[in-house]
Structure 1
Amino acid sequence: MIEHKLKALILMVGAIFMAFLMGNTTSHAARMDMVDVSNNNGYMSTAEYVSMRNEFGVKAVTVKISEGGTYKDPYAASNIANVQAAGMYINGYHFAHYATKAQAIAEADFAGRTAKLAGLPVGAVLATDVEAEEQNYQSRATNDVNNKAFMQEIQKFGYRADIYTSGSWANNKMTIKGKTGWIAAYPYVVSGKNWYSNNHAWQWSSTARFRISYGGFDVSQLNSNYYTAGQKSTVKPTNKGAVKANNKKANKHTYKQSASSKWIKEAKTYTLKTAVKLHTSTSTSSNTIAILPAGTTVKTDQAIIKGGYRWVRQPRLNGYGYLVTGPTSNTLKYVKSGAAHTYYTVKYGDSWWSIAQRNGLSMNALASQNGKTIHTTIYPGQRLVVR
């Protein structure tokens, strides 16, 4: 997911800061209440889900169902069946690409039909994952109309609706009302004592590890029962000691604090993949010098993370211009380097994980340098930058 979940300078804090930020919530550390999985995680067995439940206290799993208007996650049906066999709550999500109301309704119909075929039970949540380029270039009002249309349509299939997006997009790119929403914000943007406690869920990590499962996982703390209501479950973590120990360990990552408040040298040449605004300062609300069209070559000298975005600086005859390369978790989503690259052609059965492992990269790094997220679907024949 973030969505939105890519290589960037990320400011993260340690467990002691997380304990402070969680404030008066029921725990002094973020909980692994829910895990979300997709084709990027490969096949997940019932035994793996049982381990997540018993050893880490995972209550719910949200599986990718579909993307856009044609892609069906090949692991959706097996994930749904195996999560249910493990006695856990099951939900789904659709990765959205809609930019109009009509497209939102069409994608909702596609997602609903796909979810039915995959076995997602009536009463489960089928969330819309809104973090793609299509939504980034819409106004907040347009995104609100489109999201509302999607959620209204999805309810016709018997599913409950919600919106998943990043903390930097919530109430900026779209409206997320209190007592709704699933927000992704890893501990690098401090915004008060509690992390989205008024929303249904807070995704706090994309790199959580589980004992018998390979790779990193997106994990969320549930701040309401929305993702565990409306369906039957026999969730019973049988090893409470392991749950406590493993959750404590998961919150003990010692992240390096990035120089997010300092400019760093970054002399690069970028070719814009899409039109990008050139600002007068490192603020999305600052004046626009120009709108640079797709294909424009931009030479930069420095970069900084500020206000939830990664910015690059362009020297100009009369000063500097500033461009957003994407949210801090989606660096280089909108621009790509003009340097020479080594490419890999995607084959049938490939995934972000398998290609990344083959080339000595993390999934996020691989997706980042291709201007995508790990939730973006890749297809046989597609060329990806690996060097």
Structure 2
Amino acid sequence: MTMYSVDVYSGSSDSIIQDSHAQAVIVKATQGTGYVNPKCNHQVELAKSLGKKLGYYHYAGGGDPVAEADYFIDNINGYIGTGMLIIDWEGYQNSAFGNTTWVRRFVDRVHDRTGVWCVIYVSESALAQVANCANDCGVWVAKYASMTWGSWTVPNMAVSSGAFKFITGWQYTGGDMDRSIWYLDEAAWDKFAKANVANPTPSPQPKVDQAKPVVNPQTTWTDNLGDTWHAEDGKFISNTALHLRWGARPSASTIAVLPAGSVIKYDAWSRGNEFVYVRQPRGNGYGYVAVRNAHTGEAYGRFE
């Protein structure tokens, strides 16, 4: 049995919550110790009115994990027991990213106060950072076939569970909306919201048929900066002025400023802490352009 979800934040359209494919909605509640999503209550109530299962997530800011857990729980106190609790562990705006004890301390504090074990949202490449939570928590892995996979069709590709026995959920798109598949039924989803319930076992995950061509096969590699790149021939048309740089970093030297409407042909993409970059082949090497906000998913144009 599987379920599908979307996740939303303050900048999300209500239409994402209303999408008929989504059986569950995961709402950003807090970040760090100083931010509460001003649309949280509205988004939760809209999802409830549509009969959708709920989840609430805290975006790690990298401060004291106990203080952030307390801030999360204090602000969603009225929702405890009504939906899955999630810690969002990403590099953007997270000063502790790379720390292998931060999430463990956060989930322990949430469990101490509520009896609920959080589900951990993390990219496949950072699973090792949360491996010490594998015996207690479910894992929601982020891995995309491409940055233009704007479909509810689940890509046919392998996704690692790291130290976790299985994947609880998989976020497989991050463009026009974040789509996820969960290897749960509604009863198992509800168990994640309840206190003192062991981590439910998800439904068996469909195995990839190795004899069948994989949709959008990807060639990946890691460069000398530690960035993971994915081969993909594509075209991006900007809707604003963008910097073409010698490297995939905001600090890299500028080759040129490309005006709005520029057509950028690229052969690979990489998701960094701040931006998603594409690589443009040039006569004397490569240029790099930030085409999407890695945190919010906002694209600075359209892909073709």
TM above 0.5: yes
Is the CA contact 2:171–2:179 (under 8 Å) kept in the aligned structure 1? Answer: yes
Residue 229 of structure 1 is matched in structure 2 by: 191
Structure 1 residues 1-387: aligned runs within 5 Å: 33-43=4-14, 49=18, 52=20, 56=21, 58-99=22-63, 103-116=64-77, 119-122=78-81, 124-133=83-92, 138-139=97-98, 143-155=99-111, 156-157=113-114, 159-171=116-128, 173-175=129-131, 177=134, 180-187=138-145, 193=158, 196=161, 198-207=166-175, 216-225=176-185, 226-229=188-191, 260-261=230-231, 268-269=245-246, 310=270, 326=272, 330-331=275-276, 365=291, 367=293, 373-374=295-296
Is the CA contact 2:92–2:295 (under 8 Å) kept in the aligned structure 1? Answer: no
Which stretches in structure 2 are left out of the alignment for 5+ residues?
148-154, 195-214, 221-229, 234-242, 256-265, 278-289
Measure the CA separation in 2 of the matches of 1:105 and 1:68.
11
Shift of 1:162: 1.7
Residue 318 of structure 1 is matched in structure 2 by: none
CA shift in 2, pair 1:129/1:151, >3 Å: same
3-state SS of 1:206 partner: coil
Measure the CA separation in 2 of the matches of 1:63 and 1:125.
10
Measure the CA separation in 2 of the matches of 1:192 and 1:164.
19
Shift of 1:150: 0.8
Is the CA contact 1:90–1:120 (under 8 Å) kept in the aligned structure 2? Answer: no
The residue type paired with residue 60 of structure 1 is A
Measure the CA separation in 1 of the matches of 2:30 and 2:96.
22
For each residue in 1:83-136, what CA deviation from the matched residue of structure 2 results, as whole angstroms up to 9, or x when unmatched? 22222211110111115xxx11111111111112xx424252221101124657
Q: Quick check: which one's strand share is greater? A: 2
Count of matched residue pairs: 228
CA shift in 2, pair 1:256/1:81, >3 Å: same
Q: Please provide the CA RMSD for this pair.
A: 4.5
Which stretches in structure 1 are left out of the alignment for 5+ residues?
1-25, 208-215, 233-253, 274-294, 311-324, 333-363, 377-384
Q: Which has the larger radius of gyration?
A: 1
Is the CA contact 1:63–1:76 (under 8 Å) kept in the aligned structure 2? Answer: yes
CA shift in 2, pair 1:134/1:42, >3 Å: closer
CA shift in 2, pair 1:224/1:195, >3 Å: farther
Q: How many percent of aligned residue pairs carry the same amino acid?
A: 18
Shift of 1:228: 3.8
Measure the CA separation in 1 of the matches of 2:216 and 2:29.
32
> Under a length normalisation based on structure 2, what TM-score does the superposition of the two structures give?
0.58
Is the CA contact 1:32–1:221 (under 8 Å) kept in the aligned structure 2? Answer: yes
The residue type paired with residue 145 of structure 1 is T
Is the CA contact 1:124–1:159 (under 8 Å) kept in the aligned structure 2? Answer: no
Is the CA contact 2:174–2:297 (under 8 Å) kept in the aligned structure 1? Answer: no
3-state SS of 2:272 partner: strand
> Under a length normalisation based on structure 1, what TM-score does the superposition of the two structures give?
0.47
The residue type paired with residue 138 of structure 2 is T
